[in-house]
Chains A and B, each alone.
Chain A
Amino acid sequence: MTEGTAPLLEVEHLSKRFGGLVAVKDIGFKIRAGEILGLIGPNGSGKSTVMKLLMGIERPNSGRISLAGVDIAGWPTHRIARQGIGIVFQHSRPLRRQTVLENIKLALLPDSLLRLVADPSVNDKAQAIATRVGLGAVMHRRPTTLPFADLRRLELAKALARDPQVVLVDEPFAGLTQAEVANFSELIDGFRQEGRAVLLVDHNVKGVAALVDRVLAMYLGEHIAEGSAEDVMQDPTVRRVYMGGKIESHARPEVELRSGEPLLDVRGVGVLYGKAQALDAVSIHVHEGEFVSVVGLNGAGKTTLFNAISGIVPHSGEIKWGGSDLRGRSVAEIARGGIVHCPESRELFGYMTVRENLDLGGHHLPAATRATQLAWLFELFPILEARQGQHARTLSGGEQQMLAIARALMLQPRLLILDEPTLGLAPVILEQLSKALHRLRETTPITVLLGEQNVTFALPHADRVYVLENSRIVWEGDPGRFAREMGTGYL
């Protein structure tokens, strides 16, 4: 890129706290005109907060954001937008009663209470933009009748209409097919040709590698690496954050597990979110007593897969549980049938104590069984015994996760689904959690389906591993083979 020219967007020492949580800590970067920077980090890394700070949706606690020399940190969103920053939101909520063209025209209107009638040139401009982003054929239709990719195009069109110097794009390729990804890449590359500065925010380097000039990686609010996409992918800190450290595995012999019919048999399951394909023909199976890990980067479809199994989202294909089809059963029926789902968001009752949360989980058990179960759980997670009387919301992240798992175990599941238990947890806590899972596997005949981005966390316990990528299963095997076959291609 043209070294020497002054950067268009310059961010220095940007910090943001939410109460005690430091979401963004001393982040700085520069983007020149005609340059594309990728901002990556796993969920909870603070990358979305950075984007919100740039757009003025959140106010920074400290730091400078200078756009062509003007410090815009802390300005209200509409002024930042007028100053020259545009954003392409991931989730679009277009005006439903207006046509695509009218939606684009909206973005071209002046912020005035006196201009009742739009300038005639607005119409021509809106048509030109619609054609440019590939909406030419559908511009007189209503957004509700459009496929997902076209709705994303509409978001691009609206951002373009303001002719921004800097464009922020949130997860540019989420939910798009390969062909659409290529098409969107071209459009975003077009921004670069026009001399705009572009910031692409995504979960992983892979998604944006082909497009970006440089990548900045974040984790827990901090800057961990910066450089070319290749360098960042090779960076040891980045690899540790995404995959954990050295990969270990302790798979048990397959023979004793694989016998007979699987307990859970998922066949060709697909899920649509509105118009986005969130899960595409996924097939997995879990035998009684097996510990199966589904690994994949954030956004790959893990949560969707688990939600489909638990009956939370409607799906196509077939899910068999102990030989019978789960279709048509309610979430509660499925849970009573023995599939207990411990969601990524934990869903604890924050204003209840640790003990009350656990008692609620064991509500259906006879008193004696409940007491034994509780004693066993306190043995598994000693910290919970010490915290019995504390409100769940005052626990640390790691303790909350343990409580969530413990509460799920109170339901005496035949299959425990753990969705991303490591989300937002510090490395020390991961180790404690890992030990607890190890004890769980060794001391009980429990069947577990674990979804994880952190491979190092997911592999040691797993008997078998699936890799989920872009809504599809792309690899299946034992954890020993994973390191050899997938170790480099995962990120």
Chain B
Amino acid sequence: MTKLLHSRRLWIAAVVVLVGLSAPWWLSAYFLGVLTTAYYFGVFAMSWDLLFGFAGMVNFGPTFLIGLGAYGAAILNAEAGMPIPVCLVFGTFISLIGGVLLALPAMRLRGAYFGLITLVAVLLMQYAIVIFAHVTGGEIGMTVPSVLSIDATTNYLYALIFMVICGIVLYGLSRSAIGLILEATGQDDIEAAALGFNVAKHRLAAFCISAALSGLAGGMLVFYLGAASIDTVIDLSIGVQIIIASVLGGRRTILGAVIGAIVLLLADELLRPLGQLNTFVVSAFALAVILFFPDGLLGHLLHAGERQ
């Protein structure tokens, strides 16, 4: 415990969170909104990093798990009028089931083949939403009757606190004994099994945790936006953005994913005056970081420390 209190990283994290909490006093409502979305994206990216960075599973379709949670919660809210917490639990549960389903092929397939399955899963879900348009709103999307809050500050604080909790859980997990075992299974599953670890069990657990948090964050995002649509939570480009955020921040760092998400979404917003060029510039920047700092922003800083 004393070791924990002396950890420099802990104090840095605490200061960052405090700065984050004070943001409503010095930031415009507009940027609070951008950050709110960025925080949910941060959770998406952290959950993705647990699967890719630690368990070594290349999930090209993070939005499959997010979408299940988002639409699960939205539909229950719109159709049955259930209160938000119940809807969120339901969405998380649906996403968890999706995670288990996705974990099944992951037991047999690795690398590109598994990646293809995750891509197909997203496309299938997208088609399902279009086909069952009477419940899901199809391509236009659906509005939900309930929202978390209409106040920008409250919404911002919800997102921040949620992200911090997810960050503590995921980062703690990554530094725990389980994180070590997961990293070993991701690096060489045969060697991990030869050390007596049930690789399937650990991989399944990683999928469940990643799915539950992605789904919950997806649901929260829906109740923040007041709507669920393919463009906001399912489209492949959203998935790509999450992956870029995670790699940009630094693979296998968990917290780097948050930094990546915030940098990416803020840049997207700040460069808006560039018009069409906006996306191009952001993508080029991300590409440059990945090319020149393959460890990502946070990863690069940490490794610089290690080298000394």
B190 is an interface residue with CB less than 8 A from chain A: yes
- Distance in Å: Cβ of A138 to nearest Cβ of chain B: 16
Instruction: Return the contact of B191 from the options A56, A93, A105, A115 (Cβ within 8 A).
Output: A93
- Distance in Å: Cβ of B172 to nearest Cβ of chain A: 7
Instruction: Return the contact of B193 from the options A78, A106, A109, A115 (Cβ within 8 A).
Output: A78
A161 and B184 CA atoms in complex are apart in Å by 15
Chain A residues with Cβ below 8 Å from B176 are: 116-117
Q: Would you call B198 and A78 a contact (CB within 8 A)?
A: yes
B207-255 residues with Cβ-Cβ distance < 8 A to A are 252
Q: Which of B172, B173, B178, B252 has the most CB of A within 10 A?
A: B178
Residue-wise interface mask of A (114-148) relative to B, using a CB-CB cutoff of 8 A (1 in contact, 0 not) = 01111000000000000000000000001000000
What's the tally of chain B residues with a CB closer than 8 Å to chain A? 25
A3 is an interface residue with CB less than 8 A from chain B: no
A99 and B183 CA atoms in complex are apart in Å by 14
Residue-wise interface mask of B (165-177) relative to A, using a CB-CB cutoff of 8 A (1 in contact, 0 not) = 0000000110011
Q: Would you call B199 and A118 a contact (CB within 8 A)?
A: no
- Distance in Å: Cβ of A212 to nearest Cβ of chain B: 22
Chain B residues with Cβ below 8 Å from A117 are: 176-177
A442 is an interface residue with CB less than 8 A from chain B: no
Q: Would you call B194 and A98 a contact (CB within 8 A)?
A: no
Q: In this complex, what residue of B is CB-closest to A52?
A: B190
Q: Would you call A116 and B177 a contact (CB within 8 A)?
A: yes
Q: Would you call B177 and A57 a contact (CB within 8 A)?
A: no
Chain A residues with Cβ below 8 Å from B194 are: 55, 57, 77-78, 81, 86-87, 89
Chain A residues with Cβ below 8 Å from B195 are: 78, 81, 106-107, 158, 161-162
**Given contacts A77-B193, A93-B191, A106-B195, are A113 and B180 in contact (CB under 8 A)?**
no
Q: Would you call B187 and A111 a contact (CB within 8 A)?
A: no
Q: Would you call A57 and B190 a contact (CB within 8 A)?
A: yes
Q: Would you call A93 and B193 a contact (CB within 8 A)?
A: no
**Given contacts A102-B180, A162-B196, are A113 and B190 in contact (CB under 8 A)?**
no
- Distance in Å: Cβ of B199 to nearest Cβ of chain A: 7
**Given contacts A116-B176, A158-B195, are A77 and B181 in contact (CB under 8 A)?**
no
Q: Would you call A115 and B177 a contact (CB within 8 A)?
A: yes
Chain B residues with Cβ below 8 Å from A98 are: 180, 183
B266-308 residues with Cβ-Cβ distance < 8 A to A are 306
A161-201 residues with Cβ-Cβ distance < 8 A to B are 161-162
A62 and B193 CA atoms in complex are apart in Å by 22
Q: Which of A76, A102, A107 has the most CB of B within 10 A?
A: A107
- Distance in Å: Cβ of A303 to nearest Cβ of chain B: 24
Q: Would you call A113 and B205 a contact (CB within 8 A)?
A: yes
Instruction: Return the contact of A113 from the options B172, B178, B199 (Cβ within 8 A).
Output: B178
Q: Would you call B177 and A76 a contact (CB within 8 A)?
A: no
- Distance in Å: Cβ of B303 to nearest Cβ of chain A: 9
Chain B residues with Cβ below 8 Å from A95 are: 180, 183-184, 187
A445 and B190 CA atoms in complex are apart in Å by 50
Q: Would you call A116 and B172 a contact (CB within 8 A)?
A: yes
Q: Would you call A78 and B199 a contact (CB within 8 A)?
A: yes
Q: In this complex, what residue of B is CB-closest to A113?
A: B205
Chain A residues with Cβ below 8 Å from B306 are: 142
Instruction: Return the contact of B196 from the options A82, A105, A142 (Cβ within 8 A).
Output: A82
Chain A residues with Cβ below 8 Å from B199 are: 78
A97 is an interface residue with CB less than 8 A from chain B: yes
- Distance in Å: Cβ of A106 to nearest Cβ of chain B: 5
- Distance in Å: Cβ of B70 to nearest Cβ of chain A: 27
Chain A residues with Cβ below 8 Å from B180 are: 95, 98, 102, 105-106, 109
Chain B residues with Cβ below 8 Å from A107 are: 195
Q: Which of B177, B180, B190 has the most CB of A within 10 A?
A: B177
Instruction: Return the contact of A76 from the options B183, B187, B193 (Cβ within 8 A).
Output: B193
Q: In this complex, what residue of B is CB-closest to A107?
A: B195
Chain B residues with Cβ below 8 Å from A76 are: 193, 198
**Given contacts A97-B252, A113-B205, are A106 and B181 in contact (CB under 8 A)?**
yes
- Distance in Å: Cβ of B90 to nearest Cβ of chain A: 24
Q: Would you call B177 and A81 a contact (CB within 8 A)?
A: no
**Given contacts A115-B177, A116-B177, are A81 and B193 in contact (CB under 8 A)?**
yes
Chain B residues with Cβ below 8 Å from A97 are: 183, 252
**Given contacts A81-B195, A81-B196, A162-B195, are A109 and B177 in contact (CB under 8 A)?**
yes
A142 and B194 CA atoms in complex are apart in Å by 22
Q: Would you call A93 and B196 a contact (CB within 8 A)?
A: no
A70-96 residues with Cβ-Cβ distance < 8 A to B are 76-78, 81-82, 86-87, 89, 93, 95
Chain B residues with Cβ below 8 Å from A57 are: 190, 193-194
A117 and B202 CA atoms in complex are apart in Å by 16
A337-359 residues with Cβ-Cβ distance < 8 A to B are none
B188 is an interface residue with CB less than 8 A from chain A: yes
Chain B residues with Cβ below 8 Å from A161 are: 195
A82 and B196 CA atoms in complex are apart in Å by 5
A468 and B25 CA atoms in complex are apart in Å by 76
Q: Would you call A106 and B184 a contact (CB within 8 A)?
A: yes
Chain A residues with Cβ below 8 Å from B187 are: 93, 95
Q: Would you call A118 and B183 a contact (CB within 8 A)?
A: no
A256-308 residues with Cβ-Cβ distance < 8 A to B are none
Q: In this complex, what residue of A is CB-closest to B179?
A: A116
Q: Which of B173, B176, B197, B252 has the most CB of A within 10 A?
A: B197
Q: In this complex, what residue of B is CB-closest to A97?
A: B252
**Given contacts A81-B193, A97-B252, A116-B176, are A111 and B198 in contact (CB under 8 A)?**
yes
Q: In this complex, what residue of B is CB-closest to A162?
A: B196
Chain B residues with Cβ below 8 Å from A86 are: 194
Chain B residues with Cβ below 8 Å from A93 are: 187-188, 191
B9 is an interface residue with CB less than 8 A from chain A: no
Residue-wise interface mask of B (31-69) relative to A, using a CB-CB cutoff of 8 A (1 in contact, 0 not) = 000000000000000000000000000000000000000
A102 and B202 CA atoms in complex are apart in Å by 19
Question: Could you write out 7 A-B pairs with CB less than 8 Å apart?
Answer: A77-B193, A78-B195, A89-B191, A95-B183, A106-B181, A111-B181, A111-B196
With A57-B193, A57-B194, A113-B201 known, 5 other A-B pairs at CB within 8 A are A98-B183, A102-B180, A111-B196, A113-B202, A115-B178
The 7 closest A-B pairs by CB, nearest first: A77-B193, A81-B196, A116-B176, A82-B196, A78-B193, A93-B188, A78-B198
